[in-house]
Amino acid sequence: MKFQENDKINTKVKIIFLFFIGFSILMSSSSIVAQKDYVIVIDAGHGGKDPGNLGSGYKEKNIALKVALAVGKKLAIKKDIKVLYTRKNDVFVNLWKRGDVANQAKADLFISIHCDSHTSNAYGAGTFVLGLRGNKKNLEIAKRENAVIFKEDNYKDKYKGFDTNSAESVIGLSLLQEENLDKSLAIASLIQNNFTFKLKRLNRKVKQDNFQVLRETIMPSVLVELGFLTNKKEGRYLNSKKGQDQMAGAISEAVLKYIHNLKLNVISNTDITIKAVHSVEFKIQIASGKNKIATKSFNFKGLKNVQRVSVGKFYKYYYGNTADYKQVKKSLKTAKSKGYTSAFIVAFKDGEKISVQEAVKIK
């Protein structure tokens, strides 16, 4: 009798115990779902022996670091976000190492923060995603940001075959990077929209180019150019606590919206208000033939910046390279007035020749 009762109690204990185990498995698995961390790697450009640009006396490496830390601080307070930095102080970090930090952490997003410079009074904020090649102006920015490679030890081994001066030397995007492109464009446009509409910074748009630091990562990645330190007014703003806080706010709010959209699985770049994703170029073809002619203006009736491209055994001569269709029409008039009466407009998308009609539609 006693035996039996004990058995009954044992069974009850067992049932309660099993129920408890089942319940805790259920709880822990649901909490795993709830606690999924989004790992965001924030990369402050330059650092240490590489000051970045020094436009109007402000150091890019310092501003990039302050904004990067401020972005991280704003994001780290969120329960489901884990923030990592490629540098938290004034140290030199190789470009490949920056990507490596993100890859090792299996990060969900990589944001590299920089400031631009120019010989003119140019200003405004822009956001870049990786692209095979962009236009000449973007290439200049990519070249500046990539130039740090030469300060690294053994750079020739680490960046095999990569010619920082030539967009053409780039073999192509890896499949993975292409898969990331939609997400990269989505976060880039959210950031850029905040810069433009919330902060009223001049919109230099979302653009694609070949930034080495973005090539090193295997997750959605963007590179932000906060503004131009060479522009006194913008440099002063970016160097101020207020400016840094506002720019960091614009970036961190964009990241939160991006993560929100990820959760809802509604990431798309259909709401991108920025058109300049593809680099479209117009040119005037003024001549073609078997003769290789030096592209000096005196050889081309005074036309400057003539470009020669070899096509098989022939050479084509182009003039008036621009992304602006109105501008190329003006250049066509100029070319005709100089005597190139049969000159005509040609168009290229990402370096590939396309019809002018198609190019106008993309613009």
Beta pairing class for 344-349 and 307-311? unpaired
Name the minimum Å distance from CB 44 to Zn ion.
10
- Both tokens of 302, joined, read 């005074």
Name the minimum Å distance from CB 117 to Zn ion.
8
Q: Which of 63, 110, 124, 145 binds Zn ion (CB under 5 A)?
A: 145
Name the minimum Å distance from CB 176 to Zn ion.
25
Per the CB < 8 A criterion, the answer to whether 259 and 81 are in contact is yes
Residue nearest to Zn ion (CB): 114
Tell me: does residue 99 bind Zn ion (CB under 5 A).
no
Tell me: does residue 126 bind Zn ion (CB under 5 A).
no
Name the minimum Å distance from CB 46 to Zn ion.
6
Residue 107 or 113: the one with the smaller Cβ distance to Zn ion is 113
Separation CA 110–CA 85 (nearest Å): 10
What are residue 290's phi and psi, to 5 degrees? Answer: -85, -15
Residue 45 or 99: the one with the smaller Cβ distance to Zn ion is 45
Name the minimum Å distance from CB 43 to Zn ion.
10
Using alpha carbons, select from 189, 201, 207, 191 the residue that is nearest to residue 254.
191
Side by side, the strands of the sheet bearing 344-349 are 307-311, 314-322, 280-289, 344-349, 352-354
Name the minimum Å distance from CB 224 to Zn ion.
10
Residue 339 backbone class (left: φ over 0; alpha: ψ -120 to 50; beta: rest): left
Q: Which of 61, 87, 114, 205 binds Zn ion (CB under 5 A)?
A: 114
Residue 145 or 216: the one with the smaller Cβ distance to Zn ion is 145
Q: How many residues bind Zn ion (CB under 5 A)?
A: 4
- Both tokens of 355, joined, read 């019809």
Residue 95 or 284: the one with the smaller Cβ distance to Zn ion is 95
Side by side, the strands of the sheet bearing 38-44 are 81-85, 38-44, 109-116, 221-228, 125-130, 203-209
- Interaction pattern, residues 34-53, with Zn ion; x per rule: CB under 5 A: -----------x------x-
Residue 146 or 177: the one with the smaller Cβ distance to Zn ion is 146
Query: Where do contacts with Zn ion occur on this chain (CB under 5 A)?
Result: 45, 52, 114, 145
